[in-house]
Amino acid sequence: MKPFTYERATSVADALRRTAGATQDGASAAYLAGGTNLVDHLRLGIREADRLIDVSHLDLTEVTELDDGTVRIGALARNADVAAHPLVRRRFPVVSAAMLAGASGQLRNMATMGGNLLQRTRCVYFQDLSTPCNKREPGSGCSAIEGFGTYNALIGASDACVAVHPSDLCVALAALDVTVVVEGPLGERRIDFGDLHRLPGDRPDQDTTLERSELITALEIAGPGFADRSRYRKLRERASYAFATVSVAAALDVRDGQIDDVRIGLGGVAHKPYRARRAEDALRGGPATHEAYAAAIATELEQARPGPDNAYKILQLQRAVPAVLDALTEAA
Amino acid sequence: MDHDTGGASTLSTKIVVNGTPQELTHDVRMTLLDALRDHLGVTSAKKGCDHGQCGACTVLVDGRRVVSCLSLTASLDGSEVVTAEGLGTPDDLSDLQQAFVDRDGLQCGYCTPGQVCSAQAMLAEVASGMPSHVTDPSALADPDVAVELSDAEIRERMSGNLCRCGAYVNIVAAIRDTAAQRAAAAGSAEERP
């Protein structure tokens, strides 16, 4: 680990002030929250920071219901606490389920909501300093395109990067109506969840649209109201404590056999938490049948560009998406 | 309280370890695992992978299980840390530690301190109603439904502690025994006038 200084922020304003100070000094700064990803990366040398600004003690841990029914979750609430929170379990069980499918009990006790949004890819070449990786070192090349491709992206990858986003929580959030609240030098900014993460293009080193000094302070989950009829299914190589090969978060609103609304988030598919809008559009207003679900995911996957090692993900999605929607149809 | 290095590479951190207050002057990069093992002589927490993947370094911080290899000591100023030594000693084992011995829930023993700390916290998590990945979806969505501690629940909740020697079955049995004993003890306490 390269040397850094440690600073404990006393407020959001204090954290922003310290980051601005680092920038003025020509120093790099990093916010420390749960540390489950950052500390590992600092130690591996994947990430370097001159100044570590610890925001983990800030008072941003509350889970509250706003007057309009929106659930607001402080960015520093721990994953384990949010997954177990009665309000989240009743209103958005798919969010609890997705978080409980991720990591281990120890890591969920440490990891924060905001940090989960910013965790970085588990692409094996990103983790391996001895190999080229455009995400870790822009311009160095991509080892995964011609290399070990089992976990590569299916959709939206570029010539520069084929890595996928690793979060389970984010797949559930992609299927819901979520706003990410951030504080920066110019004040508060509200970002639609779908606009937070980027496809790689020619800048795979930039995971998100956040400005360098911006700090996530809260998540707001507004709906849809049928999120109680939602499920999360994760496919992985062992029964627990592994990243997804693919995962599905779905919510379904069926009335008289017709689909009133449907949401589908997919994990393990793209550089960002992926919302399957083509499949949703194909389903809305149509019949709630297994055949329709299978046709819809086939439509979505027409744009997939699998390689020889990750084509199995297509088959997994073709089976998992209809299976999850079938289960929701039966429960409706 | 302002707790920062002011540009220096060392700082001072106060933590309570197994009931004993400690003040450490340390490199800001030091993890809790290295502080325990290399500076405080608390060696039950083991260094396995050192990347948060194996659970051998699991300890309780303010009552919650964490991996100490990814916990920066600097961030824990004012915290209370309990390791396997803090749960019980060879002369006075905790109920859970005794159950591991009775069930032979260990082989080489390297991962056992982390397993025991994780199990201690996991039982508390179940008691407080926290769901898991294998909890039935209808129970997950209804916080008033109590979690049943099935073997599947024990396995899922212990999955952050990897053992390479194949002692999984006996670890599950030791945890199951402890949960049953504690439930029986709580039941008989309630029955007393």
Q: What is the pLDDT of residues A246-286, one digit of tens each?
A: 999 999 999 999 999 999 999 999 999 999 999 999 999 99
- Please indicate, yes or no, if residue A24 is contained in any of the structural domains: yes
Q: What was the pLDDT predicted at B176?
A: 97
Of A43, A83, A105, the CB nearest to B157: A105
- Residue A272 CA to residue A194 CA, distance in Å, equals 9
DSSP E strands, chain A = 5-8, 29-32, 51-54, 63-65, 71-74, 177-184, 187-192, 215-223, 230-235, 246-255, 258-267, 274-275
The predicted model scores a pTM of 0.96
pLDDT category at B193 given cuts 50, 70, 90 is low
CA–CA distance, A298 with A5 (Å, rounded to integer): 51
Check CB contact of A5 with chain B, cutoff 8 Å.
yes
Question: Does some domain include residue A141?
Answer: no
Residue A305 has pLDDT above 70, yes or no: yes
As for how many domains chain A has, the answer is 2
Q: CA nearest A239 in B: which residue?
A: B156
- What is the Cα–Cα distance from B120 to A107, expressed in whole angstroms? 16
Residue B9 pLDDT grade (very low, low, confident, very high; cuts 50, 70, 90)? confident
**Model confidence at A41: pLDDT above 80:** yes
Distance between CA atoms of A3 and A202, rounded to whole angstroms?
31
Q: Could A84 and B129 be called an inter-chain contact, meaning their C-beta atoms sit closer than 8 Å?
A: yes
Domain positions in chain B: 3-87, 95-191
The enclosing domain of A38 has a CATH number of 3.30.43.10
Q: What part of A 9-28 touches B (C-beta under 8 Å)?
A: 10
Sign of CA dihedral A67, A70, A75, A77: positive
Q: Does B3-87 carry CATH code 3.10.20.30?
A: yes
Name the pLDDT band for A327 (thresholds 50, 70, 90).
very high
Residue A212 lies in a domain: no
CA distance A304 to chain B (A): 29
pLDDT at residue number B2: 45
Contact A100 B135 (CB under 8 A): yes
Contact A100 B65 (CB under 8 A): no
CB contact under 8 A, A4 and B29: yes
Distance CA A226, CA A254 (A): 10
Percent of chain A with pLDDT strictly greater than 90: 95
Interface A-B, measured as beta-carbon pairs within 8 A, has a size of: 131
Decide if A123 is inside a domain. Answer: no
Question: What number of other Cβ atoms are within 10 A of residue A127's Cβ?
Answer: 17
Report ipTM for this prediction.
0.95
Range of the domain at A282: 230-331
DSSP β-ladder status, B80-82 and B10-17: parallel
Whether residue A10 and residue B75 make contact (CB cut-off 8 A), yes or no, is no
The superfamily CATH assigns to domain B95-191 is [2Fe-2S]-binding domain (1.10.150.120)
- CB distance from A32 to chain B under 8 Å? yes
A153 part of a folded domain: no
Please give, rounded to a whole number of angstroms, the shortest distance from the CA of A302 to a CA of chain B.
32
